Structure 1
Amino acid sequence: MSNFFETPDRTRNSKRALSSPDNELINDLKRPNYFPANMESPITPSPGETTLTLSEDAIQKISDTLVATFRTHIESIVENVVSSVMSKFNSKLEALEQANTLLITENSDLKANISRLESKLDDQEQYSRRNLVRVSGIQENQSENTDDLIIKLSDAIGSGLSLTEIDRSHRVGKPNPSKPRDIIVKFTSYRARQKVYLSRSKLKDVGYNKTFINEDLTAKRSSLLFNARALVKSGRLLGAWSSDGTILIKDSKSKIHRVNNNDYLNSFRSDDSNR
């Protein structure tokens, strides 16, 4: 059997070998086990080319190096993208925070302005009631004349009120069989109103034990006075009343305070409130 590697004429000139094939050589090359198992196939490189044989370890190292390189490159790309996105996000977030701070400030200012306007409107409403009083506890009947009832009360306490000093008077609210409705009295002047209001302390002395004369307060001030009187009943305050629409209280040390809101009033609910 002819040996491929021992045929210099055939290996020296591949073109000639291919152009004039030797039948025996071709048949030998076609045999499946022509080359030994431990021998690589003799691939002859073309002129100027070099054949490179790599081991599995070398291939694995190359693969690992490529994977690491691509991973580093991809991580760098991802990091740049994330950094760019976060930068834009932080910029937007900062702008939103500034806008939110501005809105909070504006909202606080608006609340303060609304509170001032509400207080001013309440003052004006209370001033419009300066000539009014509210009388509660007088028994009610269908044929009554409220002007006559007020004149009778005024005479009893010695206020000296005349009928001409009453602009008008009437019951307020829905009829209640178990409780007489209050009577609103509008006087022709503040001076006439004061005649009756300043004499109210004499009511119990002349038989009007369950009758009370109070200023006609706005809803806000009426609520404040109601809460203040609840503190008087619970022993937190010594007294609570109104004067020309102003709510006044007397603390446990007999010091008088002007109350404008429930927050200030609530500070007297604790036992250790020192004013």
Structure 2
Amino acid sequence: MADYLKGKQTEDKSDSISIEKHLEDINAKLSNVLTKSDTSILKNLIKDTLEEVKDKFLGSLIKRLEILEGNLFDQTKEIETLQKLVKTKNNEIDILKQKLDDANLKHAEQLNDLEQYGRRNSIRIAGLPSDSENQPSAAVADEMASLLTKKLGMPIATTDIDVAHRLGKFAKNKSRPVIVKFLRRQTKIEIMKRAQMLKGSRLFITKT
């Protein structure tokens, strides 16, 4: 029995030595791989792997940059189109403003001409009595025809008057002046020649 146990221990020891030897062989082989010709292979493999990773990364990055550049180009073209449109609209607005200014100027000139033409046949009379609020133009014309016929001694009918109206806002105990426009300029001329006949009557005739 003792011999058997002794033999078993010897066998186990032998197996242990065998495993250690295998480990040493493996370590030696690994050392050989890392330190000799296989080292360059490993380095090249790592280098190739890094290059591949770099190429993929750069390819992805370049693709994204191309997409961004394309979007930027499209946006730039759109902005340029909008700028041209705004410029065109501004030019159209400037043209319309100029036309409006010209039209307003022409309108003002026409109004001025019309006003001047109207003044050619018009007189202004101050001191005319019988003023009342909301006095109709026809009533003022009747009163003016009667007064001028009586005071100036010239036959003036209501039909000789184009329009007659009070000026300003009505106020009690005051008599607003009157503008009278005649159909014929000659009527105004004759009245102005006789205007001095109203001296002392508290009536005053002037040109408009």
Deviations 1:198-243 (A, max 9, x none): 666x59x93367845232xxxxxxxxxxxxxxxxxxxxxxxxxxxx
Distance in 1 of aligned mates of 2:173 and 2:57? 94
Deviation at 1:137, TM superposition (A): 3.2
1:88-129, Cα deviation, whole Å (9 max, x unpaired): 321231133123202321331243134314532553465356
Residues 194-209 of structure 1 correspond to what in structure 2 (within 5 A)?
Answer: 194-197=189-192, 202=196, 206-207=199-200
- Kept in 2: contact 1:165–1:189 (CA 8 A): no
CA contact (8 A) 1:165 1:187 kept: no
Q: Cα gap change, 1:6/1:171 in structure 2, threshold over 3 Å: closer, same or farther?
A: closer
TM-score normalised according to structure 2 size: 0.53
Question: Whole-Å Cα distance in 1 between the matches of residues 77 and 119 of structure 2?
Answer: 62
Please give the alpha-carbon distance, in whole angstroms, between the structure 2 residues aligned to 1:67 and 1:137: 102
Structure 1: unaligned runs, 5 residues or longer = 8-34, 43-49, 156-160, 216-275
Cα pair 2:164 2:179 within 8 Å, conserved: yes
Tell me what 1:116 maps to.
106
Structure 2, unaligned runs of 5 or more? 1-15, 34-40, 133-139
Q: Secondary structure at the match of 2:156?
A: helix
**Kept in 2: contact 1:140–1:181 (CA 8 A):** no
User: Residue in 2 aligned with 1:163?
Assistant: 155
Choose from 166, 172, 194 the match for 1:172.
166
Q: Offset of 1:86 from its aligned partner?
A: 0.8
Which structure carries more relative contact order (alpha carbon 8 Å, separation 6+)? Answer: 2
**Structure 1 residue 152, shift from structure 2 partner:** 5.4
For the pair 1:87 / 2:77, whether they are aligned, the reply is yes
Equivalenced residue count is: 165
Q: TM-score by structure 1 length?
A: 0.43
**Amino-acid identity (%):** 15
1:64-83, aligned counterparts within 5 Å?
71=61, 74-83=64-73
Answer 1 or 2: which has greater helix percent: 2
1:145-182 CA deviation, whole Å, 9 max, x = no partner?
Answer: 433433455x4xxxxx6123662475536642142122
